[in-house]
Chains A and B, each alone.
Chain A
């Protein structure tokens, strides 16, 4: 149990276009999902916290108008990178925190990570 998927796994796009990345919890409901980005040989950096049915909370320095987050259901959150530029090229990882209502209940507030999406902006 506690499987999180991401789609797509890899995406290459032209500069100026928008890219949508999906994060799904497959066998549990997640009231909270997180979006991270990771540069080569660096640790995961939290971008934003996404709560179902409400606006996302962005970390300092992350542009909310550039990285649009929608958490429309208890099993799906999306990250849209708008007007992508080469410096947005990175590895984007989502994680999900199981909720108390239905599905598995996380112990220790454990987040379950998706497999990541490699974004390359040309």
Chain B
């Protein structure tokens, strides 16, 4: 069964600090992994997409890593801003399918 587990479930940090969110996935065969940001009451917005051959990808202050051997991914947020407060969802897609497996998300709160 395809699964995506995220940790921590929630995280509170001070503005300006860095943080790292974790994602473990069990998806076979693996196609790609994405990180989304979902603001409260809004739909998910894509941050990064990585395939098997990619081990890091950046989008501004967001940097995602992927270790296909250990089936782990992380999302690093640098110099956090208040607007980073949101839920961050890890999503894995298996090859030959267009139906993704969603993690439950990490709720990030950035305090001033």
Q: Which residues from chain A sit less than 8 Å from chain B, CB to CB? A: 4, 6, 32, 34, 41-44, 46, 49, 91, 93, 95, 97, 107-116, 118
Q: Count of chain B residues with Cβ under 8 Å from any Cβ of A?
A: 23
* B105, A113: Cβ atoms closer than 8 Å: no
* Known A41-B107, A116-B42, A116-B43; contact A111-B51, beta-carbon cutoff 8 A: no
Q: Identify 13 new A-B residue pairs, CB closer than 8 A, beyond the known A44-B44, A110-B34.
A: A4-B43, A32-B98, A34-B99, A41-B107, A43-B89, A43-B105, A46-B99, A93-B43, A107-B49, A108-B32, A109-B97, A114-B43, A115-B43
Give, as a whole number of angstroms, the nearest-CB distance from A120 to chain B: 12
Interface residue B93 (Cβ < 8 Å from any Cβ of A): yes
**CB 8 Å contact bits of B81-112 with A (1 = contact, 0 = none):** 00000000100010001111011110100000
Closest A residue by C-beta to B36: A113
Closest A residue by C-beta to B49: A108
* A115, B32: Cβ atoms closer than 8 Å: no
A-B CB contact pairs (8 Å), 14 listed: A4-B43, A6-B43, A41-B107, A43-B102, A43-B104, A43-B105, A44-B44, A44-B102, A93-B43, A95-B43, A109-B32, A111-B98, A115-B43, A116-B41
Chain A positions within 8 Å of B51 at CB level: 108
Give, as a whole number of angstroms, the nearest-CB distance from A25 to chain B: 13
A41–B48 Cα distance when bound, in Å, is 22
Chain A positions within 8 Å of B89 at CB level: 43-44
Interface residue B46 (Cβ < 8 Å from any Cβ of A): yes
Chain A positions within 8 Å of B42 at CB level: 115-116
Among candidates B36, B93, B103, B107, residue contacting A109 with C-beta atoms closer than 8 Å: B93
* Known A46-B99, A49-B99, A108-B32; contact A113-B41, beta-carbon cutoff 8 A: no
